[in-house]
Structure 1
Amino acid sequence: MQLVDATAGAFELDERSKDIFRQIVDAYLSTGEPIGSRSISRALPTKLSPASVRNVMSDLEHLGLIYAPHTSAGRLPTDRGLRFFVDALLNVGELSADERVGIEAEVMGPPGGEAMDAALSKASMVLSGLSSGAGVVLTHTQDMRMKHIEFVPLDPGKALVVLVGEDGSVENRVVDLPPGLPPSALQEASNYLNAHIRGATLSEARDIIARRAAEERAALDILTSKLVDDGIATWSQASSKGPGTLIVHGRGNLLQNVEVRDDVDRVRQLLDDLETKQELMQLLSLTEEGDGVRIFIGSENKLFSLSGSSLIMSPYRDNQQRIVGVLGIIGPTRLNYAKIIPAVDFTAQVVSKLMK
């Protein structure tokens, strides 16, 4: 199972701080109540005085990971703290064989199959029952017409793609970036796509970029052929991916020939544009393939604008491996994440199997 975070946290905690933070989160997930330093001191695996625990709690509060709901009360995790817990400290469990069989039987129904709408309804009911929250199924996200798209760098080699639909829906996908893609390409891709593909689906946007690249390639062929035939320039390091590097002869002399200089500048511009469009098509293809369980906690939950709740979603696919919808649950932030995350992931796999 691939676990994708919506907003990665970045904190360096020592083991003692992690142990105390876990106690605070575990108490919240179990009871919803704050826990104090004395109770934490008794529960820790290594002996630590309540005063020492309070010092660590003060540091955790300063980091924004915990807070005191009342004066002199114990501490609760913040949304930021829960995000850090899920990203860095949570041990995601595995469903038992019986749990998998149960989910599959509920969603797929008896032999002979179910209508897809009925199966999706059952998937929503199964997830609702497992989580004591609301089961959610969103369909046809592959055809979402985009109002805005943003590429946000995460860890090296990964980016978060934020898709905002014309209907106000929001999707987040994490993609692996092509090797060697410069960080500046992400911002350039966001700017270019938002200027040119409003109202298009992802696949339509990719076709638009491909058509424009083909037009520029044709213009490049005409210009470069003229320059090479006239002996003004040559190509070197040609490869199957492109013509290679343009080498221009007598650059100083070109300054006296405005027409030739303009042609060379145009070639360079076309090469830059083609490289940009190649990167754009790669990013759009990766975005269409973006996968993984996505988690939104508290104020991160922009899709339904429900602060104080968590949203755990996973995409499902059709028989051509295209993402055609997402399903999951909305529940309180004190969900049993270790149990719900694998349940959502497996339910999405079952629905994908039905689509084939």
Structure 2
Amino acid sequence: MAHSRLGLADGWGKIQNLRLNQDKSMLVSCQQSGLRIYNVDPIREQSHYKESEIGSVSTAELLYRTNLFAIVSGGPNPKYADNSVMVFDDRAGRPVLEITLPTPVLSVRMRMDKIIAVCRTSIHVFSFPTNPTKLFSIETRDNPQALCEVTPGKLCEKELLVFPGFKVGSIQLLDIHNITGVSCAPTCINAHRTELTCLGINQQGTMVATASTKGTLIRIWDTVKRVQLVELRRGADPARIYCINFSLSGEWLCCSSDKGTVHVFALQDYRLNKRSALATMGVPGAYAGSQWSLASFTVPQECACICSFGKDSTIQAVCMDASYHKYSFSPEGICNQIGYDVITELCQDCDWYTMRGEV
């Protein structure tokens, strides 16, 4: 998932972080009392680790729908050091790999052949899973939210790593495909005038979405031409954007914020997005010409939340209060609730191993 860091600072119960896998079909919930893995659509628990087994977990990353996932300990009862990435084999129910860094790890990203550890002022890329070796490290701007995304699609020639640039509001793009060292400098895009707060990347790595601390605008960038494709307006009031995600096809984009609203935008047919009434009156200016979401629905306000697209024009949101919301939406902007659950009350499903691949 593409999203800003959700953590203890958000103060929502025992859940410390939520993270979707690369194709948005699985969800990992990091808790003070352990870790849970869920299938997203339909929502059901697939694996459950108690605090006695894994300790409290601050962040985690699933590797697609395989039996491997990575964790970083954190919270009131950690089992491992906060500067270590522990890779677990869920079939064996135990860690199979440990990667130790010089400083605390804030987030982890995984691909089939690489594992990426994000620290506050550096990013470290390792080969994976056979004979893990550090490929390179890169220094970054102070990055307390651990903003970093990598192309999620499996078969992409361009494995794009996206992270904050040294200039306020900028992003850096680095192709890490077959890289054995920092052989080329990252490309820099000046995305915003204020600090970044959220990043998103599409499956192919051709589009990147950015949002800043102001939280009123989301900008979409072409990673090949390095130009802005469109500017989308979340709202007029400042907000903290928690999550930005593209649909698998790249046709839609969704975002969530502390205003308690999940927005849906069209990316292939911009005419579907709403326009300000000022635009119809011929009033000039960026605000009047803004593209607003074509559909939206509400979740608990000021509760950190991640969102993603599901099957058949559906969208899901999972909040730090453990609530799960599922809506259908139409190009005409009609949004209807079709599902609700509390994920901490779901029971474990014993068919987990029949649903996924293995590494």
| Higher helix proportion | 1
- TM-score, with normalisation over the residues of structure 1? 0.21
Pair member with larger Rg: 1
